[in-house]
Structure 1
C-alpha cells in the first residue's frame, strides 16, 4: 500500500487525531505518527501491556506494579496485588475493565500467576511454580477461557501451562508433543509477546539464545508443536526473536536482534505467509533491536515495532520498516476500536497519535 494512501486511511481510522500536546514524543523522518505520553505517577518498567479499548488499559511491571486506566490514560489506578513488591510482572492479559491476569518471572516460586475479577481491588494467586528449573516468560489466551503460559526448557523441552477456566487453574501440558530445544535456546521475557495466539487454536513461541532463532507453532492449543528456523540472528544468549504478531493464522511478523545496548542488530525482523512454516528476512528491517510488535487495526499490511531506541512502522506487511520515533518502549499493542498503546521504562505509557 502506498504510504500516502495508508496514512490517509489511518488518519480516518484513528479518530484519536487531535493535535499532539507539548509533552508528546517527537517524530523523526517518515510517517507523521507520534506517541502521546501519559502521566502514570510511577517509575516501574512496564514490559506487560494489555489494552482492551481506547479507554481501558492494563500495564504490569517491576516492583509488583499493576496499573489500570478506564478513561484513556487521563488517570491511572495502582491496583498492584498486595505483597508482590519483590516480583517482576512481565506479562498481563486482560479481557475487560474487571478481569485480568498477570505473570511474574523468576526461578522457583517467583514464577506466579495472579487473577482479578473486580478491576484489581482483590487478586487470587492461581499458579505458583514448583519446578526449580522452570522460568516462565509469557502468557497468551485464545479466548476468555483457554490460555497458555510458556517456560524456558525443562529437561530439554519448552514447558507449557494450560488453562481452560480463564486462569483460575493451570495444568502442565505433556512435553511429548514438543520438539527438543537447542542447547542454550530460551524465550525472552521482554514484552509479553514471546507467546502469541490467533483464532481459537493456533499459538506460536519465539526463541533465541541457541545456534538458530526459531518459531514453534501449535494448531491444537499447545498439545503438539512444529518448529522452523528464522533469519533473525541468534547464536548468543542476547540474540534471537523477541516478539511475534500474527494478523491471522497465516500472516506473521517476528522482531528481535541483540538486546545488548550499542550493538548492531542486522536482520532484526522477518515475515511469514504460511503460519510460520517458513520465514524470510525483511527487505528493510528496523535499524536496531526491537522487543515488541503489533498489527495496526483495520490496515491489512500495517504494523508497528518498538524497542529501547525507537519505534518503526511498516505498510508492507513487515517487508520494509521506517522509524518514526526515537523514544524508549518495550512493548506495543492495538485494540479493535482503533487504539494503539506502548509501554516501557521509567513508567512510560503512551498512546499513538497523528500530528
Structure 2
C-alpha cells in the first residue's frame, strides 16, 4: 500500500524506540523497562464497523465501513470528520487507500453494482464515483496501489478465474485486466473482504492476494502489476467456506505474513499464521501462531521483524518476523495499519478506532 508519509521527527523516533523495547520484552502485557504499549481507543462518534483503514501518520488516518461511512482524523484521533460520499448510505466500504490528508480511494463491496470505487482529492469534501461494476457475476473485495498512479482491485472468480481491475491514473479510471495470466480458481474458492488486506502490494510492481473457502488456502503473486500471476498453497485452515487466509502483509518483495483461520467464533484456528521469505513461492507455518482467527496484519515500520495481527478476540505481536506470536491486547479489531513514522492504527466493530501508544 502506498501512502504519502510525514517525516519522522524526535517524537516519532521516541515512539519507535519505546515500542521496540516493549515488543522485545517477555510476554506479560508487552512491558519492558517500565514501558507499556497498547491500543488507546479513540471516540469515532459512530457505531459503523470499520474494516477499511489507512494510516497516513501518527496524526492522520482514514477509516471506511458500513452504512457508506468514511471518517478522517488529522489530530491523532481526538476528533473525526465525517467525509462520507453523499448518497452512499446503502454501501459497504471495506477498503480505503490514502495518499495524505486530502487524497483517498475507497472500495465498496457487493454483487453487481454494489461494487464501486470512489475518489477524493480534497479530503472528502467532494467525491467522484470512478467505477461501478456492470457485471452481476462479479464481486470486488480489496484494492491496493503500487505508487500514486498505479493500482489494482481484486474480484472473486468469474468463469473460473479471479477478476482484477487496474488503474494508471490514481483511480480516476479503471479497466478489467485480461485473465489469460491468471491461474484457475478452485471450486468454492474466494477472497475475504474482512480487513482490506486480502490484496496488498510492495514496491512498484509486486502484489499478492489471499484466498480461502476451498480445499486449500492459497496466495497468488504478480510481479507485473497484475498481468500474470503465480499461486502457492498456504498452510492455514481450509476445507470450509469460513476458513482460509484473510490478510497479508509484505515489508518488501520477499518477506511476507499471512493470517486467518476460521472466522466462526465457536471454531478453533490452530494454524492461524504463516511466513514467507521468497516472495510467496513457499509458506511456513508459524511455530507459535496467534491463538485464534486473525483478520488483519501489519508490519511495524522499524526493526524489520516486528508486526501486529488483530481479530475479534485480540491483538498479537511478533518480534521475530512472524515465527512466534504473543498476546498484546484482548480488544476486538478487524484491521490494522502502520505508517512510516511509527503511527499504528486499528479499527473494527461498533465504531472502534484506536492508536498504538506507549505509556509508563
Taking structure 2 as the reference length, the TM-score comes to 0.91
Check whether the contact 2:99–2:148 (CA below 8 A) recurs between aligned residues: yes
Q: How does 1:1-355 map to 2 (within 5 A)?
A: 12-14=14-16, 29-32=28-31, 33-355=37-359
SS of 1:176's partner is: coil
CA distance in 1, matches of 2:240, 2:104: 34
Check whether the contact 1:11–1:354 (CA below 8 A) recurs between aligned residues: no
Deviations 1:284-324 (A, max 9, x none): 00000000000011111100000000000000100000011
Check whether the contact 2:41–2:354 (CA below 8 A) recurs between aligned residues: yes
CA distance in 1, matches of 2:232, 2:30: 33
Q: What's the offset of the Cα at 1:331?
A: 0.2
CA distance in 2, matches of 1:307, 1:74: 24
Check whether the contact 2:16–2:302 (CA below 8 A) recurs between aligned residues: no
Check whether the contact 2:15–2:358 (CA below 8 A) recurs between aligned residues: no
What RMSD over aligned residues (CA atoms) do the two structures have, in Å?
1.3
Gaps of at least 5 residues in structure 2 are 1-11, 20-26, 32-36
Alpha-carbon distance change, 172 to 327 in structure 1, aligned in 2, over 3 angstroms: same
Deviations 1:158-197 (A, max 9, x none): 0000000000000000000000000000000000000000
CA distance in 1, matches of 2:17, 2:176: 43
CA distance in 2, matches of 1:43, 1:77: 14
SS of 2:67's partner is: helix
CA distance in 2, matches of 1:179, 1:155: 12
SS of 1:158's partner is: strand
Gaps of at least 5 residues in structure 1 are 1-9, 18-27
Q: What's the offset of the Cα at 1:39?
A: 0.7
Taking structure 1 as the reference length, the TM-score comes to 0.93
Deviations 1:174-228 (A, max 9, x none): 0000000000000000000000000000000100001000000000000000000
Check whether the contact 1:255–1:269 (CA below 8 A) recurs between aligned residues: yes
SS of 1:109's partner is: helix
Check whether the contact 1:91–1:104 (CA below 8 A) recurs between aligned residues: yes
CA distance in 2, matches of 1:37, 1:14: 19
